[in-house]
Structure 1
Amino acid sequence: MTPIPLAATQDPNVQLVLDVLPALLVILILSALCGKLAVKIGQPRVVGEMVAGIALGPTLFGRVFPDAQQTLFAPSVKPVLYVLSTIGLTLFMFLVGLGLDHEKAPDGYRRTATALALSSMVPALLLGGAVGLVFHQELSRSDISPSMFAFFIGGALAVTAFPMLARLLYDQGLERSPIGVLALLAAAVDDAVAWCFLALLVAFHGNEGLLGGAVTIGLSIIFAVLVLTLGRRLLRPLGERVRVQGDMTSGQFWIVVMAVLAAGWFTEAIGVYAVFGGFVMGLAMPRDPAFQRAVRQRLLDLVQVLLVPVFFAFSGLNTRIDGVTQAATLLPLVALLLAAFIGKYSGCMAVMRSRGFSWREGSAMGALMNARGLMILIFVNVGLAEGIINQKTFSLLVLVALVTSASALPLFNLSLGRSVTKLPSQQAVAEARAAEEQLRK
């Protein structure tokens, strides 16, 4: 039988597959290469993946090979990448919530985490808002008021990347250490407030007024309360069955995935975005170690290797960093970077010192909370899609995400007197976790 030439294919579904698969292959190859390079120079893998996403956009790939870039990421491919990235982020946030031992946090850490979140958000919000007001004419769309633009810039700089922070701490073997648990709790509060703030901004921008924003936030609170009370109670027998069996069946895994996607769909529908639903559902899941291990074994590699890099690539397609060295662009970028770093760092340092932690621990916490990676990218992607910011501001904020995220690990290690040139070995990570488990027992 003579094979049908690819060019003769007329089925649009088949053509879409032929368009999407090469794009995914290129994303995965470059993401893997940049991720390995990032680890070699002492950075988290996620920083390399962010660089890979920007490189695939118009700044590098689009400038050197414009025709190839347009062919590889054709208009029909971008919606598919958006859906895959949204699913990936939702599942990843679910895994982060699943692994957070929020109920076993040391006494007083919840109050300290709340104080940390607010003290890191408020200064960044104020400083970012001031930068937005000063550079409104240079950066903002003509149809966006100075106050709306200032609030958005402040909100973007106030977020902390919960998923990136979790990956950074996991790579370091510190996700269950006191400072790790405290940082994750603070970042969780930070992100929850950020989503509510973003919902208000989108509601006001869409001419829904205060009522529209209040309805969205109210529905979010009702959703979270129901999932963390009734939902947790309904899911508890599932965890017990997995513990008795020692593993998870396909049917049980189906229940978990359906619950996560349903939660993501609901929060997306009410305007808080799917990642929030995934995170809350992760918090509601059984805390049994066997259950958590079984879910991670099925989801973690797929999410980290395939779906999250797709999100970075999708963001990179909207990022242009050419012309950054021009004075008209360089000055706002420097102002944004200073506001982002000083706002987070100073607030965290003040709270940590007031709660009896050392200067080194305060500096380390300030470094961790400056990791913005995924969350600021989600924030600015929403702003761009809603027409709150333009392409230029989007690109500047992506650069802020990259620089502050890349600086987090070196400054964290420097603050604690650790090596700044490489990540700890797998043996060192295993030994650190074993020691922490002994202390917990």
Structure 2
Amino acid sequence: MGRDINVGIFGLGTVGCGVVKILQDNADVIRKRLGFGINIKKVFSHTSKCKNLLTNYTYTKDYKELFDERIDIVLELIGGIDVARRFVIEAIEHKKNIVSANKALLANYGVEIFSKAAKNGVKIGFEASVAGGVPIIKIITRDLMANNIKSIKAIVNGTCNYILSQMFETHESFETILNKAIKEGYAERDPSFDIDGIDSAQKMAILAAISFNAKIEEKDVYVEGIRDIDFIDIDFARQLGYRIKLLGIASMKNERLLVRVAPYFVEAENILAKVDGVYNAISVISDMTGQTTYVGKGAGSLPTASSVVADIIDIAKDFESGKVKDTLSKGVFEKTEFVDIDSLESHFYIRFSVIDSVGVLANIAYVLSKYDISIKSVVQTGKGLDVVPLLVLTHKAKESNIKKAILEIEQDHKSIIKNGTVLIRVLE
């Protein structure tokens, strides 16, 4: 039987309250399985929804009390970047092991934090920073450690997946489903962080760093969101045997890394196309195990808190064995060159908004051909309206050529092109 492990909590928001609930409601189960208990010793938080749930702890007005020598592990659950970064760095300098759910922090300062943790001989647990209740960090850093990872394709934002799934099922517009998601609590009142792809980009930066030993930050991720997707795009994809999903993709090509977040046409039989609602899915392709896919709830108080507690337990087990092993070694992150997305080739879906008149398709097809882009399929809907959608699926083309062609069409054919053009890649 080992001694009890004491934790300090910095921040009692949604995730923090979930951690409190798990540690207190399942205290007996944890003690039986570990042979010792995990106690909440001190808490620092300006606000809290669950102070009344806490027992046998000290609520402190000074965060530095969390560096008490009796506290073994500190939980950073406040979110944000600046305050969280200062706290985590200071905690590491006080030789405290850290568990964090802070994707924004790790996507921007992960290399600094992991390096400092290694120098100070402490461990950083960050399972909850990506995909909530899906244990993808441990899978990559432990279970697939002997594998050379080739690529990751992932749905890592439940809000966007819910919106796209609902549009597919109900045939309603993006705006209608977004408002529904906000009312039902699946989206924030300001949903920009999710629907513009920022949340997914932060998570993909973390996954790419640990999968490819790469120095990568959020700014290195190419990002597109789902604001411009309409039901007409989803219906056209369905007719062709695809579903539209917001994917995060990380892959290594000729020793150069490409990490991007964007909507994709995904073949209906692909496992990622079948993951709906608020669920996340991460598909990893590696040299020894091939493709493995992990699915689960990507957000919410208890799924995310469960990942936090799992990290606490991992570190607690290290204490019992007498040695805390750092999660990632000091030299694991290597300077990385990045692939220019414009150099890639893909099939593309393009939605033009055009006036309904003779010769429009011919003009568009002519410009596309100038840039070596051939049309695989084309549909014009809404006949009789002044402005109608023209839907084009191309054969494989270079991304830079697609963008040049669209720019020329929009600039030189303003008399026939109205509104913005929508471009979606097709997942190979």
TM norm structure 2: 0.28
Higher percent of residues as helix:
1
With CA pairs under 8 Å and 6+ residues apart, which has the higher RCO, 1 or 2?
A: 1
Instruction: Give the number of the structure whose alpha-carbon radius of gyration is greater.
Output: 2
